[in-house]
Amino acid sequence: MPAQENREKFLRAYANLPLNTRKEIILVLEEKGIKQPITWEVAFFEVKNNTTNSEKILKKLEELGII
């Protein structure tokens, strides 16, 4: 799926989340043996700012069937 489509799906899903849910961990990114928990809020920040991590996050969320 194109990255832009995943981005839009994520933003729609995020907008519909209850505020308390946004603090929950949705995935763990691992780079160079270091595991980083990613919450909805962190994912939103990364996607909104179109960082290099945003592509990894969106791909992983698609693989997990979250978006």
Extract the tokens encoding 31: 């780079």
Query: How many Cβ atoms are within 10 Å of 38's Cβ, its own excluded?
Result: 19
pLDDT at 1 over 70: no
pLDDT in tens, 5-58: 999 999 999 999 999 999 999 999 998 999 999 999 999 999 999 999 999 999
CA angle 54, 60, 66 (to 5 degrees): 105
Residues 6+ apart with CB under 8 A from 27: 37, 38, 43, 57, 60, 61, 64, 66
